[in-house]
């Protein structure tokens, strides 16, 4: 892989001089323009659309709608009144607007084009939660690079990803967009994605800047309801929510998107603690802060600002550089400066950061996109191949009683369920333009392995609506088969932004189908597709084998079939716990012990009184963080702590032997966890501090070695500063967050 990564987190003296020269020439209005991000198009115009379509048809050309520009857009661009665009992916339109900015505005400052490319642009990969389940950052780096190639070819130079919000509540639909519940894993994935997006040698000859989001704590939405209020301690902010952002910046990200939520009662978009104190004073980070969609305007319903003018003032003063979509800066910022309510120096600083990014991306040298490139590049065969690799590694085998999987190609199958012959939902919650025709369904995947007469298909019910329900056909098909293959789960629009749920069981009437099919007594394999952890204790007990396939992108069906028939041995592991019941939420492995811990995280603990337990269910999740099975078995032995007494500057080295004790080659994600037993503040019962994905042939064993600098075993202390405290620690190496070999080590006083 190409290792040239562009970084946007360092100052470059030549670029600074260029920024100075530009700033010195800019009027206040031009400065404000750089802080405005908008959509250049006007409202949808049916006649305009129809006319374009007709012309394309008459000329025999592929139809690509080019919406009408907003009536004021050309003048605005000529006046330098716009700095960037949101979600414009039409090279022709981008070049047209860019020409006005570059050739017809006074200073010729190019516009930047930002877009949501969350799990691929046109080559749609599995949703990010699934991608994280690969535990394979190198693979995600490659996938991000493909996304950057395609996005760059349509004129995008700024990708509004990675979404690095730690999410511990699966009701929150946006859990689909991130890496799950853990900050350490989130850091690894954040770094990989930033590197992948910011690879230098893209086919377009242009560059991409990543924009990690949503800064910060958005995943803590109360009760999992999107956009809801959040309330967490500054320690949790620093130890859980901030680290993936810091990792993204250290990997070279030069921009960040502020979140919709509040932090300690001040919405992120106008929050000086996170935007100024942490980003600038503590981290000395020189990047650009962009608001989320209309988040400046939303300070009004938040109750922080009485009107848009005040919202603009509070945001700029707090350290927000660019306003997305709403017009607070456009309408009021110049006047706020003139009245002395906002110091010009702060506006200059914001503009400086924007220009710095534009220079670093290379926009001044290469403002235009080659309009002929995208059709040649998009969905290239090697991109589709990579989407298949990621889909394979993202799927998590949750159960496989009696080694029911892999299936024998001789078995007669009854394929039942609404997601087996489905294209569009495989695309998941974030594909900017929907192209269901790009998708391989599960039925198409199966047909690679089985002749048509070897299986029957019964959809049985819709995904989420009440009816129609065809239980009789499902039961008849099951009775006629050797094995039932259920393909069930959520539709793509049941997760993602604004799509939170209160009931995470199988939607619609799918459980009724399962119950009827289970009553036939036939062996059941269930392929479960979703944008989040589901709450499926009943299904999990009814199915003999359960494969979590997520919304796996354009190669979903092929990837499912390859796993079902054993061409590929599953290796994904969960990155967010799957609760047993809705009432357990939030459930995450890295919880605190409390003063009254349950004596056993097993299934009998609810009998204990006056302990931190439920009276009607265990504390433990149905499937824990880090969990996932394989068609082979891995045995762990010989934990060895090289130096059990460590100084603060030392590195903890722990090794263990992992043996493939089964009969197939397979990949295992070996995980290292620690626990700091006593601290000046309470510490989680376990924290992931290392992982390695290794492939072993049958019978092969490997000594896996982890090196964790002691400096990485710290936390935010009583004084809100990062500290590593001497004392006793436990360490585990194992296959998931609930099992493994255990040892101890000690950190000595300095
Ligand atoms: C989302 C962001 C996204 C933005 C622009 C917002 O509603 O929260 O994740 O980048 O829209 O599309």
Report, as an integer, the average pLDDT of 692-706. Answer: 98
Angstrom CA distances, 515 to 471, 523, 673, stand at 10, 13, 39
- Domain 578-750: state its class: mainly beta
In the predicted model, what is the mean pLDDT of residues 421-444? Answer: 96
Q: Rounded mean pLDDT of 50-61?
A: 91
The 10 Å Cβ neighbour count of residue 24 is: 7
Strands of 245-387, DSSP E: 255-257, 262-263, 266-267, 288-290, 323-324
Question: What CA–CA distance (Å, rounded) separates 241 from 166?
Answer: 6
How large is the average pLDDT for residues 713-736?
Answer: 98
Please indicate whether residue 292 is annotated as part of the active site: yes
Task: State the chain's mean pLDDT as an integer.
Answer: 96
SS3 of 236, please? helix
Hey, whose CA ends up nearest to atom 4 of ligand 1? 293
Other beta carbons less than 10 A from residue 239's beta carbon: 20
pLDDT digits (tens, 9 = 90+) for 681-694: 999 999 999 999 99
Does the pLDDT of residue 1 top 50, yes or no? no
State yes or no: pLDDT of 605 exceeds 80: no
Give the atom of ligand 1 at the shortest distance from the alpha carbon of 213: 9
Q: Ligand 1 centre and the CA of 320: distance in Å? A: 16
Please enumerate in sequence order all residues whose Cβ is within 8 A of that of 313, keeping only pairs 6 or more positions apart, or say none.
305, 332, 336, 341, 342
What is the SS3 assignment for 147? Answer: helix
What is the 324 CA–ligand 1 centroid distance (Å)?
9
In this structure, of 317-321, 430-434, 531-535, the range with the lowest mean pLDDT score is: 430-434
Residue 131's pLDDT band, with cuts at 50, 70 and 90, is very high
Q: Is the pLDDT of residue 456 over 50?
A: yes
List pLDDT tens digits, range 476-531.
Answer: 999 999 999 999 999 999 999 999 999 999 999 999 999 999 999 999 999 999 99
Cα 357 to Cα 701: distance, rounded to the nearest angstrom: 48
Which atom of ligand 1 is closest in space to residue 211's alpha carbon? Answer: 10
pLDDT digits (tens, 9 = 90+) for 398-413: 999 999 999 999 999 9
Q: Is 647 helix (H, G, I), strand (E, B) or coil?
A: coil
Q: What is the percent of the chain with per-residue pLDDT over 70, rounded to a whole number?
A: 98
Confidence of residue 601 (pLDDT cuts 50, 70, 90): low
- pTM (whole model) above 0.85: yes
**Nearest CA owner, ligand 1 atom 7:** 293
Q: What's residue 321's pLDDT? A: 98
The predicted pLDDT at position 602 comes to 46
Inter-residue contact 601 to 618 (CB < 8 Å): yes
Structure tokens at 118: 């969350």
- Burial state string for 709-745 with b = 16 or more CB within 10 A and e = fewer than 16: ebeebbbbeeeeeeebbeeebebbbbbbbbebbebeb
Average pLDDT of 557-564? 98
pLDDT in tens, 563-580: 999 999 999 999 999 999
Q: Where do the DSSP E strands lie in 237-367?
A: 255-257, 262-263, 266-267, 288-290, 323-324
The CATH number of the structural domain formed by 395-564 is: 3.40.50.1700
- Per-domain boundaries in the chain: 14-374, 395-564, 578-750
pLDDT digits (tens, 9 = 90+) for 207-261: 999 999 999 999 999 999 999 999 999 999 999 999 999 999 999 999 999 999 9
Average of pLDDT values for 353-366? 97
- Cα 277 to chain center, whole Å? 26
Q: DSSP letters of 96-141?
A: HHHHHHHHHSSS-PPPEEEE--SS-SSSPPPPHHHHHTT--HHHHH
Distance 71 CA to ligand 1 centre (A): 24
Determine the atom of ligand 1 nearest the C-alpha atom of 324: 5
pLDDT at residue 150 tops 80 = yes
pLDDT of 64 strictly over 80: no
**Quick check: do 395-564 and 578-750 share a fold?**
no
Pocket of ligand 1 (CB under 6 A): 86-87, 116, 160, 213, 292-293, 497
Give nearest CA residue, ligand 1 atom 12.
Answer: 116
- The pLDDT of residue 4 is 86
What residue's CA is closest to ligand 1, atom 2? 292
Residue 747: name the closest of 673, 654, 655, 644 by CA.
Answer: 644
pLDDT for 149 equals 98
Asked if pLDDT for residue 744 goes beyond 50, the answer is: yes
Q: Which of the four pLDDT bands, split at 50, 70 and 90, describes residue 639?
A: very high
How much is the pLDDT for 44? 84
Calculate mean pLDDT across residues 574-601: 93
pLDDT reading at 466 higher than 80: no
User: What is the percent of the chain with per-residue pLDDT over 90, rounded to a whole number?
Assistant: 93
pLDDT of 603 higher than 80: no
State the pLDDT at residue 3.
Answer: 63
Q: Give the per-residue pLDDT at 641.
A: 98
State how beta strands 545-548 and 634-641 pair: unpaired
At residue 427, does pLDDT exceed 70? yes
User: What is the pLDDT confidence band of residue 63, given thresholds at 50, 70 and 90?
Assistant: confident
The Cα–Cα gap between 670 and 738 comes to: 13
Residue nearest to atom 5 of ligand 1 (CA): 293
Ligand 1: distance of its center to the CA of 293 in Å?
Answer: 6
Task: For 14-374, give the CATH class.
Answer: alpha beta
Residue 627 pLDDT > 80: yes
Question: Residue 465: its pLDDT value, please?
Answer: 82
| Counts for the chain of helices (H) and strands (E), in that order | 22, 26
Structure tokens of 583?
């009432």
* Number of Cβ atoms within 10 Å of the Cβ of 16: 15
**Atom of ligand 1 lying closest to residue 498 CA:** 7
Tell me the best of 113, 161, 298, 497 to mutate to test the pocket of ligand 1, counting ligand atoms within 8 Å of each CB and taking the most. 497
- Phi-psi map region of 407: left, alpha, beta (phi>0 left; psi -120 to 50 alpha): beta
- Catalytic pick among 169, 182, 239, 292: 292
CA–CA dist 698, 405 (Å, integer): 18
Residue 662 per-residue DSSP state? S
Query: How much is the average pLDDT of 361-370?
Result: 97
Which distant-in-sequence residues (6+ apart) come within 8 Å of 177 by Cβ? Answer: 118, 127, 128, 129, 163, 165, 429, 430, 496, 497
User: Which three-class secondary structure state does DSSP give residue 60?
Assistant: coil
For residue 700, how far is its CA from the centre of ligand 1 (angstroms)? 47
Q: Averaged over 451-463, what is the pLDDT?
A: 96
């Amino acid at each position: 892989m190409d290792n040239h990564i562009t970084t946007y987190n360092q100052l470059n003296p030549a670029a600074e001089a260029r920024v100075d020269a530009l700033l010195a020439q800019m009027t206040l209005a031009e400065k404000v323009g750089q802080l405005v991000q908008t959509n250049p198009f006007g409202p949808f115009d049916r006649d305009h659309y129809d006319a374009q379509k007709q012309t394309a048809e008459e000329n025999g050309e592929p139809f690509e709608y080019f919406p009408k520009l907003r009536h004021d857009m050309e003048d605005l661009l000529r006046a330098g009144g716009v700095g960037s665009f949101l979600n414009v992916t039409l090279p022709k339109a981008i070049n047209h607007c860019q020409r006005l900015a570059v050739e017809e505005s006074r200073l010729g400052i190019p516009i930047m084009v930002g877009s949501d490319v969350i799990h691929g642009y046109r080559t749609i990969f599995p949703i990010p939660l699934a991608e994280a389940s690969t535990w394979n950052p190198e693979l995600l780096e490659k996938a991000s690079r493909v996304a950057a190639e395609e996005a760059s070819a349509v004129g995008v130079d700024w990708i509004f990803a990675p979404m690095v919000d730690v999410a511990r509540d699966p009701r929150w639909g946006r859990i689909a967009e991130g890496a799950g519940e853990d900050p350490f894993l989130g850091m690894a994935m954040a770094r990989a994605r930033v590197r992948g997006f910011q690879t230098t040698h893209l086919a377009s000859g242009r560059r991409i800047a990543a924009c990690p989001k949503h800064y910060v704590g958005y995943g803590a939405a109360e009760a999992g309801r999107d956009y809801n209020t959040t309330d967490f301690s500054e320690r949790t902010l620093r130890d859980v929510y901030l680290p993936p952002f810091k990792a993204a910046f250290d990997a070279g990200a030069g921009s960040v998107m502020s979140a919709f939520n509040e932090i300690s009662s001040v919405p992120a978009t106008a929050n000086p603690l996170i935007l100024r104190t942490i980003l600038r004073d503590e981290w000395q980070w020189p990047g650009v802060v962009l608001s989320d969609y209309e988040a400046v305007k939303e300070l009004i319903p938040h109750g922080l600002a009485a009107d848009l003018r005040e919202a603009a003032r509070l945001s700029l003063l707090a350290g927000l550089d660019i306003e997305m979509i709403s017009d607070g800066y456009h309408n009021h910022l110049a006047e706020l400066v003139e009245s002395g309510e906002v110091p010009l120096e702060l506006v200059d600083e914001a503009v400086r950061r924007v220009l710095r990014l534009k220079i670093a991306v290379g926009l001044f040298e290469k403002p235009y996109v080659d309009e002929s490139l995208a059709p040649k590049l998009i969905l290239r065969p090697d991109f589709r191949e990579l989407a298949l690799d990621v889909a394979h590694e993202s799927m998590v085998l949750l159960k496989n009683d009696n080694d029911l999987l892999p299936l024998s190609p001789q078995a007669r199958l009854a394929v039942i369920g609404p997601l087996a012959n489905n294209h569009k939902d495989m695309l998941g919650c974030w594909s900017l333009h929907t192209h269901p025709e790009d998708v391989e369904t599960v039925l198409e995947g199966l047909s690679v392995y089985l002749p048509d007469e070897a299986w029957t298909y019964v959809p049985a019910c819709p995904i989420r609506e009440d009816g129609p329900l065809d239980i009789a056909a499902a039961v008849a098909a099951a009775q006629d088969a050797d094995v039932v293959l259920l393909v069930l789960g959520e539709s793509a629009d049941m997760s993602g932004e604004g799509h939170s749920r209160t009931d995470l069981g199988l939607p619609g009437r799918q459980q009724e189908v399962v119950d009827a099919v289970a009553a036939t007594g036939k062996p059941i394999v269930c392929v479960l597709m979703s944008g989040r952890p589901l709450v499926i204790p009943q299904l999990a007990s009814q199915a003999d084998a359960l494969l979590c396939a997520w919304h796996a992108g354009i190669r979903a069906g092929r990837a499912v079939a390859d796993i079902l028939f054993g061409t590929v041995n599953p290796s994904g592991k969960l990155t967010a716990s799957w609760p047993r019941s809705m009432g357990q939420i939030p459930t995450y492995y890295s919880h605190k012990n409390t003063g009254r811990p349950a004596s056993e995280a097993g299934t009998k603990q609810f009998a204990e009184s006056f302990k931190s337990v439920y009276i009607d269910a265990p504390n433990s999740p149905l499937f824990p963080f880090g969990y996932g099975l394989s068609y082979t078995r891995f045995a762990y032995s010989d934990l060895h702590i090289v130096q059990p007494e460590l100084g603060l500057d030392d590195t903890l080295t722990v090794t263990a032997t992992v043996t493939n004790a089964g009969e197939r080659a397979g990949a295992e994600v070996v995980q290292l966890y620690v626990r700091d037993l006593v601290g000046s503040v309470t510490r989680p019962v376990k924290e992931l501090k290392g992982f390695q994905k290794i492939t072993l042939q049958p019978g092969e064993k490997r000594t896996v070695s982890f090196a964790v600098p002691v400096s990485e075993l710290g936390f935010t202390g009583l004084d809100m500063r990062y500290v590593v405290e001497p004392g006793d620690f436990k360490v585990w190496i194992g296959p998931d967050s609930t099992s493994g070999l255990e040892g101890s080590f000690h950190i000595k006083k300095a």
